[in-house]
């Protein structure tokens, strides 16, 4: 049987990168999907690809910074598919970059709104839908940056993503007894549009590759199976984790 047969999942940041690869994998594993991102055309193309492969998905374009959007995603899952079992809250941004003393208050606030406050909005509406089913898996995309490693010029990003791990742990203990599991996924370098902002020259890419124990950057398709693990019953005793899928970047010293 498919790992996610009869499951309903929300995936944000689904128009590219890890979210896109995970949506395709979840659909192949039997999940019915609500896919979200800001770019309507890319979402609709994803839905068409999933349908062509025999899957089922609905596109809901919007901005995770808005609370009403979090509510709309859950309402769509319940209305179209009857409930919610899984949420992969993956949308995020590098946000305000540069020396910390030069980061504006507005840039700081927008980064936290996108990466951290959006996660609170997501949980606020996703958790009740999962409690109605006495089970569920919430997954949030964090990062090793600010957790096992620090990088200059990324204070807002690091703070928002590290804060996300704290939120995950609070949610895990608050709702674990009710069957809801909550985990953070911490990828290393991944070949995505966001990743290419950092590794935007051959020299910088080689530098980032060298930071990993595996001496390379992952493809989104290599990260998606780890999301599937956290979403599926294979991880039914896993909650509150900062789940490193980072190619050894957190332990590499060579």
Q: Does residue 252 fall inside a structural domain? A: no
Q: Does residue 2 fall inside a structural domain? A: no
The confidence band for 151, taking pLDDT boundaries of 50, 70 and 90, is confident
Q: Does residue 194 fall inside a structural domain? A: yes
Q: Which CATH number covers residue 65?
A: 3.40.50.720
Per-residue confidence (pLDDT) for residue 51, from 0 to 100 = 98
Q: Does residue 254 fall inside a structural domain? A: no
- The whole-number average pLDDT for the span 109-136 is 98
DSSP 176: G
Active site residue 157: yes
- The whole-number average pLDDT for the span 108-126 is 98
Q: Does residue 24 fall inside a structural domain? A: yes
The CB density around residue 202, as the number of other CB atoms within 10 Å, is 8
Give, to the nearest 10 degrees, the angle between helix 67-81 and helix 118-131: 30
- What is this structure's pTM? 0.96
Q: Does residue 250 fall inside a structural domain? A: no
Of all helices (H) and strands (E), which one includes residue 7? none
- The per-residue pLDDT for range 9-27, each reduced to its tens digit, is 999 999 999 999 999 999 9
Per-residue confidence (pLDDT) for residue 195, from 0 to 100 = 78
Q: Does residue 1 fall inside a structural domain? A: no
**What is the domain extent for residue 223?**
8-245
3-state secondary structure of 159: helix
Q: Does residue 253 fall inside a structural domain? A: no
Domain total for the chain?
Answer: 1
The CB density around residue 69, as the number of other CB atoms within 10 Å, is 20
Active-site hit among 147, 157, 175, 229: 157
- The per-residue pLDDT for range 191-202, each reduced to its tens digit, is 988 878 877 788
């Amino acid at each position: 049987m498919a790992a996610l047969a009869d499951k309903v999942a929300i995936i944000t940041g689904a128009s590219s990168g890890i979210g896109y690869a995970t949506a395709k994998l979840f659909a192949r594993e039997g999940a019915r999907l609500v896919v979200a991102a800001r770019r309507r055309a890319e979402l609709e193309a994803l839905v068409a690809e999933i349908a062509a492969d025999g899957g089922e998905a609905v596109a809901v374009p919007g901005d995770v910074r808005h609370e009403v959007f979090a509510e709309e995603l859950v309402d769509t899952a319940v209305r179209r598919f009857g409930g919610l079992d899984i949420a992969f809250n993956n949308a995020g941004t590098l946000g305000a970059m540069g020396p910390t003393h030069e980061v504006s208050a507005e840039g700081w606030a927008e980064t936290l709104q996108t990466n951290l406050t959006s996660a609170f909005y997501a949980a606020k509406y996703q958790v009740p839908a999962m409690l109605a089913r006495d089970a569920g898996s919430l997954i949030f995309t964090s990062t090793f940056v600010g957790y096992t490693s620090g990088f200059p010029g990324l204070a807002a990003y690091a703070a928002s993503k590290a804060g996300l791990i704290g939120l995950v742990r609070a949610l895990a203990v608050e709702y674990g007894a009710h069957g809801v599991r909550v985990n953070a996924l911490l990828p290393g370098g991944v070949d995505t549009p966001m990743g290419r902002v950092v590794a935007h020259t051959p020299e910088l890419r080689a530098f980032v590759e060298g930071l990993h124990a595996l001496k390379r950057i992952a493809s989104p398709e290599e990260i998606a199976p780890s999301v599937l693990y956290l979403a599926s019953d294979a991880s039914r005793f896993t909650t509150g984790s900062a789940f490193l899928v980072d190619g050894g970047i957190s332990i590499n010293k060579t």
